[in-house]
Amino acid sequence: DFEDAVHLLNRAIALRPDYISTYDYLYTSLSGMNRFDAATAAADRGIDRARELLELIPKDQNSHLYLASLLARRGLREESLAEVARAHERNPKDGFTCFHIGVVHAILGNREEAIKFLVLAQSRKFHVRSEKHNAEFDILRNLPEFQALVQ
């Protein structure tokens, strides 16, 4: 129910504007409703807030990862890839980090890199199987490597 999700996500942002992931979820929900102008505005707000937050807390891994997702959604490929490179360099063995790098690569259409990082995430105990129906991975669905990850 995207409409309820949008309402709740907007409330969450009003209460906790530093949770950059919420802007990313809002983007996805608005896109699901074909409200692309509003989705773009949500992504831009999230990008701005993430950059402000990272000025104060440069090592905030969550903010770096979700900033990378939002940049990818806005088509800012090089900036997004730079963010995931920094995040991976800071925490290369973290399954959560590897998973989100895989998401960014899927958004950008980098199928091989997405699979590579999802495999790394799973090897580091992130349960990729639980993401079987994640729309971010539609581009990967027909790949045997992805099917093996979600079985």
DSSP H stretches of helix in 57-143? 61-73, 77-90, 95-108, 111-123
Inform me whether the pLDDT recorded for 52 exceeds 90: yes
Inform me whether the pLDDT recorded for 151 exceeds 90: no
Summarised one tens digit per residue, pLDDT across range 68-103 is: 999 999 999 999 999 999 999 999 999 999 999 999
Inform me whether the pLDDT recorded for 66 exceeds 90: yes
Summarised one tens digit per residue, pLDDT across range 101-135 is: 999 999 999 999 999 999 999 999 998 988 888 88
Rounded to 10 deg, the angle between the 61-73 and 95-108 helix axes is 10
Rounded CA-CA distance 116/98 in Å is 9
Supply the pLDDT for residue 95.
95
Supply the pLDDT for residue 1.
86
Q: What is the pTM of this model?
A: 0.93
